[in-house]
Amino acid sequence: MLVEVKKYCSGAVIYLEGKFPQKKFYIVKTGKVKIFKKNPIIGDREETRGSGYIFGIIQCITGISEDERAETSTDCEIITIDGDRLGELYKEHPAIIMKILSEYSDILRDLDDDLMQINSYDVFFDRTESVLSMADQYAKLNQLKKAAHLLHSYLKEEQHNEKVVQQVQDKLKKLPKVELVDTTDIMQVFPYERGSVIFTELEKARNFFLIRRGKVKITKLKNNKEVVLAILGEGKVFGEMSILNDKPRMATAVADEACDIMVIDKKGINSLPPPLFVTILKFLTDRIWFVQQQIIAFKLPNPTARLYYFLTARIKQTIRNLKHEMDKSYTFQYPLNELYSMTDLSKEERDNQIHEFLNDHNFVFTYDSIKVKKIGELLDRNSYFYSRALLELKIHNRS
């Protein structure tokens, strides 16, 4: 049975903290469920939720266990769904799929707010002022194509506002010509040359994207410099927040090499082939999980612990069954300076506080990659530095 309703008495345990891979996820039909989440960095959390609440889905889809427990606080009816049959769920129960996307929208909004606070990202309130200011920042950094792309996009958005059109056109006179990819099809594949801008921060989001070939770099402007957030390869989805809300883009995407990219209209989410939808849903779930890990990493007081935690999270996100991969190697397709950007390390931290990381013989650093000789050793070092970071936090909190 694809969707099954089970009855639970008050006080029944639905699942325990990370004891086994979770094959199912759940929706509260009637009654209330209590969720306990433990984390020594961001703190323990407890919440009670009622009808319509989805839980256990992150663990189910990612296959990564969490320190989370679910139990009933009243007599309940719980909808139980097999995570391996998402394609069938998409076809047979579209209302459940839309409920999942709605829940993801709420989760991602909260997580992105947390991440922005941690990273002190600039917050703009006036849209025109924000767009013009960001275009100026790109121009100062000699990122002229990005400035032009943002302004052309905004010009299309505000084409009936004469004052804004004039302001934008004045700035575009000093910038190179760029073409915006536009399509009325639900899905269409476009080629992008290396360095081509796919979208920039603050552009309105109508589409999301799937990389068919090549690599895409995701960046963000912070404190008048560009910070690398991720480098994505074949099969990855990006710009997926457009599925969940109508907010402007929160990052910039550029072709890091020649690419073929599928552009998908977010309004067609209900008419995608089931395998493609499952890919997108899994990527959305991965993003939620990884943003949670980023928040933990950024709160670690030791920059070396932050680096190990970040790399370990990336490996967990990529390799589902790590216990069989401990003696194998793994290569991150980005160099040290981009890792520093992704983990927000300051120059002082890089120069004085990460010697143990740089001298780790388990790493091979090249101009465009970071190779881990043995995954198991990376995980052991992560555990060691994570424990040290916890001790530092305890000492700090006592003082």
Give a yes or no: residue 151 inside a domain. Answer: yes
Give a yes or no: residue 202 inside a domain. Answer: no
The CATH number of the domain holding residue 17 is: 2.60.120.10
Task: Report which residue type is found at 192.
Answer: Y
Taking the C-alpha atoms of residue 301 and residue 235, their distance in angstroms, rounded to an integer, is: 34
pLDDT (0 to 100) of residue 54: 92
Taking the C-alpha atoms of residue 250 and residue 225, their distance in angstroms, rounded to an integer, is: 15
Last residue of a domain, one of 148, 180, 212: 180
Domain count, the chain: 3
Q: Are residues 394 and 307 in the same domain?
A: yes
Residue 232: DSSP 8-state: E
Indicate whether this model's pTM tops 0.85: no
Separation in Å, CA 90 to CA 26, 54, 99, 272: 16, 16, 11, 10
Q: Are residues 163 and 75 in the same domain?
A: no
pLDDT (0 to 100) of residue 39: 85
Taking the C-alpha atoms of residue 297 and residue 313, their distance in angstroms, rounded to an integer, is: 9
The CATH number of the domain holding residue 360 is: 1.10.10.10
Give a yes or no: residue 229 inside a domain. Answer: no
Give a yes or no: residue 246 inside a domain. Answer: no
pLDDT (0 to 100) of residue 115: 63
Last residue of a domain, one of 180, 200, 221: 180
Residue count of the chain: 399
Give a yes or no: residue 258 inside a domain. Answer: no
Task: Report which residue type is found at 353.
Answer: Q
The residues of the chain scoring below 70 in pLDDT are 1, 19-21, 109, 112-125, 399
pLDDT (0 to 100) of residue 19: 60
Q: 172: burial class by Cβ within 10 Å (0-12, 13-18, 19+)?
A: middle
Q: Are residues 318 and 381 in the same domain?
A: yes
pLDDT (0 to 100) of residue 123: 46
47 phi and psi angles, rounded to 5 deg: -145, 145
pLDDT (0 to 100) of residue 244: 75
Give residue 134's domain range.
124-180
